[in-house]
Amino acid sequence: MNKKLSLIILAVVGVFGFVLFFGFNLSNIFPDNKLQAYTLVISFVGLFGTVIGAYLGAKIAGDNARELYEHQKNQKNYEKRSKVELLTSIKLIEVLNHSIRIENDIELLYVGENDKRDIKEIIEKSVINIDDLIDGYAKPIIELLEDKELYNGTIGLYKSLLKMFNDCNRMQQHIKVINMYDKDNGHPEDYYILKEHERKMIQELYNDYVSHVRKDILSTFIEYKFMKIILDQCIQNVLKNIDNENKLFEDLKFYKFLSLPYTIKLKGDSK
């Protein structure tokens, strides 16, 4: 405020000095018309001030209009981005609910040596099919990627969804190149689809559970657990690209081993 006041005072003093200086010089040149000399200088200052005032007025108006446009543009982009993130959050509720169901199935696959049930009874009647396990993660993400609204979101969100889509495809390819029901030679290794750290993860899971889970079901148990870990990591990667205010699922209560009895289906979703 003091700086602005100083500039105003300086401008007034400068104009006053300008009028006195040039008025005095012109009055010496035309001694018979001193009043007209000062009038001429004042008129020139007035004309100059009018031009400067018009320029400053136009500049301020232009700056305000540009700022208003940028604000409206940013607000519109924010609303579009928020809409995409809200849609993604709704889909993630479905995916997170599926993840809980898979956790339940993994517990059912934790079968000890003393459990004499037939493997078909355990796998075919008690737990979700491995293809359906992957579908539960993949299909909601595919629906998002096929929605043109997604293009209004951030590049980070789009890339995280693409990564999850890619990992779902990799997991589907992975189960086609191994025999997870093989119980004779340890857990089958996949050097074609999996990355090195993923193969290491499977080996660590095998070492952790080899003495706890029945041999004929061990590989199935490990594959279910491994895929859940990989695809849950994808979910977390997507979540990092959603603003906290748009993370709807944080307002929901998820219980371990209890999936939600009701889920949200957006209009146009397949039943």
> CA-to-CA distance for 261 and 97, rounded, in angstroms?
9
Burial label for 22, CB within 10 Å (0-12, 13-18, 19+), is middle
Q: Is residue 256 part of a domain?
A: no
Nearest CA-CA partner of 104 in 259, 257, 260: 257
Q: Are residues 139 and 237 in the same domain?
A: yes
Boundaries of domain holding 214: 92-251
176, 270 in Cβ contact below 8 A? no
Q: Rounded to two decimals, what is the model's pTM? A: 0.71
Q: Is residue 152 part of a domain?
A: yes
Q: Are residues 148 and 193 in the same domain?
A: yes
The more confident residue out of 188 and 8 is 188
pLDDT band of 232, cuts 50, 70, 90: very high
Q: How many domains does the chain have?
A: 2
Angle formed by the axes of helices 215-239 and 196-209, nearest 10° = 130
pLDDT digits (tens, 9 = 90+) for 82-111: 888 888 888 888 898 899 888 888 888 888
Q: Is residue 77 part of a domain?
A: no
Q: Is residue 85 part of a domain?
A: no
Instruction: Output the average pLDDT for the chain.
Output: 78
Q: Are residues 99 and 65 in the same domain?
A: no
Q: Are residues 33 and 112 in the same domain?
A: no
Q: Are residues 67 and 134 in the same domain?
A: no
Q: Are residues 66 and 97 in the same domain?
A: no
